[in-house]
Amino acid sequence: MDQQAAALADVNEGNVPPASGSGTTAALTGGLMCLLSMSSVQFGSALSSPSIAAYGPFGTTWLRLGWAALLLAIIVRPPVLRYTRAQWQMAGLLGASMAGMTLCFFAAIERIPLGLAVAIDFLGPLAVATFAFGLGWRLVWPLIAAGGVLLLAHDGNGWIGDTTGVLFAFGAATGWGLYIILMKKAGNAFEGLQGLSMSLIVAAIVATPFGLVDLPRMTMEGVVTIAGLALLVPLIPYALEMIALRRMSTSSFGILMSLEPALGAIAGFLVLSQPMTALQIMGTVLVVAASAGATATGR
C-alpha cells in the first residue's frame, strides 16, 4: 500500500515522477506491473484466510509485519543510530498507522466478505483524494462510493457480515487515510526505502501486544506459512509498484489503483468462494467508478 499511498498524495499535488523508458511501451509495462501488484495484494489477502482462521487475525498480522520488517531491514540495512529525533517520530507515526490499518483489515476480513472489506477500506484514500480539493462538487465521489458499499453489504436477502467486521473495516479505512498523509512526509524525511523499513519495524513492535493474544494458537508450520505470505504481501507489491511508478504518471497509476476493490471481489470469489449478486457487482462498479473519478478530476 505504500506506493499507492504516495501515488495518491502526489496526484493531489499534481506531481508526476520522471518516467524511464519511452512512450506507450513504458506505460503498458508500468500498467502491467501495477495490476500485478494489486493482484498480489488482494489474492495475498484472500490466501491469508486459512491462517487467520487457524492462528487469529492479530497473530497473523503480527507475524506478517515482523517477517516483512526483518526481510526489508536485511535488504535496506537502515542506519538506525544515525536518524534524528524528527525521523524517529515520523517512522513512529507512520508505523503505528500501518499497524492499525493492517490489524483492523485482517480482523475485518475474518468477519465480512473480502470484497466488502476492501470497498470500505478504500473509502480512506478516496476521502483523502477528494477532500484535498475542498468541499465542492467532488464530494459526489465519496457519496457514489458509499452507495456502492451499501449495495455490496446486501445480498438480496439481507445485510451480510456483522457490525464488528464493518467497524474494523472502517478502522482500516481511517488508518489508510492517515497513512497516505504520513507517507508523503516520510518520503521526504528518509532516503530510498529506509522510511518504509523503519516504519515496518515500528509497525511490528506496535502489533506485538495484539499478536501475543493469538500466540498460543501459533505453530511452527504457521510461522513458516506466514513468512511466505509476507513475501507475497507487502514486499513483492512494493517492488512492482516502485518500478511501475518510474514508467507511468502518478495520475495514471491512481486510476489503475481504483480497480483494487474489483480485484478484491474477484479474489474473494475465486479463492474464498464468496459469491456476488448482480447488486453487489453493481456496488463494486460504483466504488471503482468513484475512485477513478476522484483521481481523474483531481489532476
What's the confidence (pLDDT) of residue 90? 92
Q: From CA 278, how far away is CA 86, in angstroms rounded?
A: 50
Phi then psi dihedrals of residue 83, to 5 deg = -75, 150
Burial-class residue 135 by CB neighbours within 10 Å (0-12, 13-18, 19+): exposed
* pLDDT, tens digit, 9 for 90 and up, residues 212-249: 999 899 899 889 989 888 888 877 876 677 677 667 76
pLDDT at 8 over 50: no
The answer to whether the beta carbons of residues 214 and 97 sit under 8 Å apart is no
Its pTM stands at 0.81
Most confident of 170-179, 187-196, 289-298: 170-179
The answer to whether the beta carbons of residues 243 and 30 sit under 8 Å apart is yes
Higher pLDDT pick, 161 / 51: 51
Most confident of 8-22, 105-119, 127-141, 228-242: 105-119
Answer left, alpha or beta for residue 161, where phi above 0 means left and psi between -120 and 50 means alpha.
left
Phi then psi dihedrals of residue 159, to 5 deg = -75, 135
Higher pLDDT pick, 176 / 74: 74
Q: How confident is the model at residue 120 (pLDDT cuts 50, 70, 90)?
A: very high
